[in-house]
Amino acid sequence: MCGIVGLIGFDSKLGPEPIGTMNHTLRHRGPDDEGYLAVDTQGQHIKIVPLRGNDSASKSEPLLDRFTGGANLYLGHRRLAILDLSVAGHQPMQHGDSLWIVYNGEIYNYVELRQELRAVGYEFNTGTDTEVILAAYDRWGEECVTHFNGDWAFCILDIKRRSLFLSRDRYGVKPLYFFRTDAHFAFASEIKAILSLSFVPKLLNREKAFQYLALFCGDHTEDTLFDGIYQLMPGQSMKVDIRTRKTHIWRHYTLSYCEELGEYDDRRAVAYAADVRDLLFDAVRLRLRADVPVGTCLSGGLDSSAIVAITAKILGTDVNAHMQKTFTASFPGESIDESRFARVVADSVGAVGHVICPSREGYWRDLPVLLYHQDEPFGGPSIYAQWEVMHEASRHVKVMLDGQGGDEVFAGYRDYRVSFLANLYAQRRICPLLTELWYTMKHARGIRSAIAEIKPLPAFVLGNFWKQRIYCIRYRQELEQAQRIYGLYGQRELDDLDRMFSANVNELLFYYMTVYSLPHLLRGEDRNSMAHSIETRVPFVDHRLVDYVFSLPGVYKIRHGCTKWLLRLAVQDLLPSEVVRRTDKIGFATPRWASRQEEWNAWMQLSLFPQEAAGL
């Protein structure tokens, strides 16, 4: 994982200072190497000059700050070396006479793709996946991304076509932001790099602010909280024509889902679980490919525990593998503390467990720098717990596997269980409905917990009009606050509640996967890990696994009040029974050290003077 930046001046040449400043803001994403490309496309013949910075591993190129030739297009790169740690992995990387790339991410099936491309005549000089991307683009053009199994955000400069080809992975694991006017086009891995440009205004996107405060959504559209700065959405690609200034965005991947609830069958469930197991094992196997130490996040929940157990099985067959290292956040004395489950899992697989204890004092002390790295507000202090985990992990490893996406793929949240009940009710399956209600109440801890479990049911059963009324009552304070501050009432945004409270469990999974939950979680994880120069990998969002599970009927997602039914079946022999059979879903929870409004106010102050406020 790395940091990438780019800048075009359509009307005039630009000096090297802006691209240097942009790249410097991303140094944390890639402290191992630094590289630039200056391109003049305005003459009859294109002029290309590779340049270096102070952190460049190679000293053979001219320094960026001494470049006086002038250019109207620049590319910049910060490298976190994961594959082929030699200087051969330096970027921007060239292929032939006409292709250059800056790239952030990992293509996990690069070994197989390299073999396929070699079979048709391509030669490779490095052990990187970057070189494979360039060859794949040369071979298949813009369709190359359909061959990738991985997480990516890259820009390929195609000299022959005088264009930029930018692309982002299917689920948005890696970020890519851009800004465009008639005079300029800029892109970067993080918003702060774009904000460093003098011609980019710092203006609040008021509609996005309302969505964040009132609807708890932050990463679900191309808009950001900075007016005029956009993100390339997950599964999208973009082409920028340098001559005509036209940009074209299209979707190279679209997630689909089975709309049927289906009829449960034990034999089919076992077969589906076996397929899930095979796909998950292969997803983890591919994500263990690295030339640096790899560790694993371990919360104590089912998702991260499954990753740890599968990793142990795979490493157990590798005589050269080191003992697995796990990293856990603990809150001693709190009811949400899951560290005892994490210890049980780590001990069961023989892993070396590292426990971190985030505190309220640390949260408020580190909040300015945390907000600076996140770029936009986040959902709560769990982000800080993850921050502390990554900080400790950076002392031991350079790559971390994590369980993000497990809840969104396998139905792990309470709302999925309520949606499943509503799904049964909508189809008038009374006996299964009563059975699921019984088990839901049985798994609850006491009467209050049982009532809390089924309390949201009316919002899922009733029509959209009543969903809006219920939402307005439940979140009256948040809505009033957003209206008072911004003079807005997002009735148009409230129309989306029909999907947020869908009576089709697979539709709700799709919504959480693409809109409400996963995009926000992935953004937080990317910034937290990269702030500490750590690459994170998320096996649960391997597209083969996601596509398969989303193709299955909804009845196989929850069974007898147990969420993640297929995942439990798939890994039940790998984990201690007390972990597999847990029904007290906690998630990556933390004590409530601040309100959403307090964090919003802190972000508003920080956004005016980000580096000064963060002490950077």
Nearest to 295 by CA among 387, 390, 400, 395: 400
Which residues fall within 8 angstroms of residue 451, CB to CB, at 6 or more apart? none
Q: Which of 2, 144, 297, 562 is catalytic?
A: 2
Residue 92, preceding bond cis, omega within 30 degrees? Answer: yes
Residue 392: pLDDT over 50: yes
Q: What is the mean pLDDT of residues 59-86?
A: 94
615 C-beta neighbours (distance < 10 Å), count: 8
Kindly indicate the confidence band of residue 613, based on its pLDDT and cuts at 50, 70 and 90: very low
Residue 479: pLDDT over 50: yes
**Rounded Cα gap, residues 112 and 115, in angstroms:** 5
Nearest to 154 by CA among 6, 51, 32, 7: 6
Q: Which helix (H) or strand (E) holds 151?
A: strand 150-158
Per-residue model confidence (pLDDT) at position 607:
58
**134-181 pLDDT per residue, tens:** 999 999 999 999 999 999 999 999 999 999 999 999 999 999 999 999
Longest dimension (CA), the chain: 78
Does the annotation mark 217 as catalytic?
no
Q: What is the mean pLDDT of residues 303-309?
A: 97
Which residues fall within 8 angstroms of residue 308, CB to CB, at 6 or more apart? 296, 298, 324, 326, 345, 346, 349, 351
Q: Residue 155 corresponds to which tokens in the numbers above? A: 């820009």
Counting every residue written for the chain, the total comes to 616
- pTM, full prediction: 0.94
Which residues fall within 8 angstroms of residue 348, CB to CB, at 6 or more apart? 309, 575, 576
**499-514 pLDDT per residue, tens:** 888 999 999 999 999 9
How high is the mean pLDDT of the chain? 90
Residues 567-594, buried b or exposed e (16+ Cβ, 10 A)? bbbbbeebbeeebbebeebeebbbbebb
**537-590 pLDDT per residue, tens:** 999 999 999 999 999 999 999 999 999 999 999 999 999 999 998 877 655 556
Q: What is the mean pLDDT of residues 521-526?
A: 96
Greatest mean pLDDT among 57-61, 232-236, 605-609: 232-236
Kindly indicate the confidence band of residue 204, based on its pLDDT and cuts at 50, 70 and 90: confident
Per-residue model confidence (pLDDT) at position 599:
66
Per-residue model confidence (pLDDT) at position 386:
95
Per-residue three-class SS string for 350-383: CCEEEEECCCHHHHHHHHHHHHHHHCCCCCCCHH
Q: Which residue segments constitute the domains of the chain, with CATH numbers given?
A: 3-106+151-251 (3.60.20.10), 266-410+525-552+565-603 (3.40.50.620), 414-505 (no CATH)
Kindly indicate the confidence band of residue 519, based on its pLDDT and cuts at 50, 70 and 90: very high
Residue 612: pLDDT over 60: no
Per-residue model confidence (pLDDT) at position 598:
66
Of residues 492 and 295, more confidently modeled = 295
**393-439 pLDDT per residue, tens:** 999 999 999 999 999 999 999 899 999 999 999 999 999 999 998 98
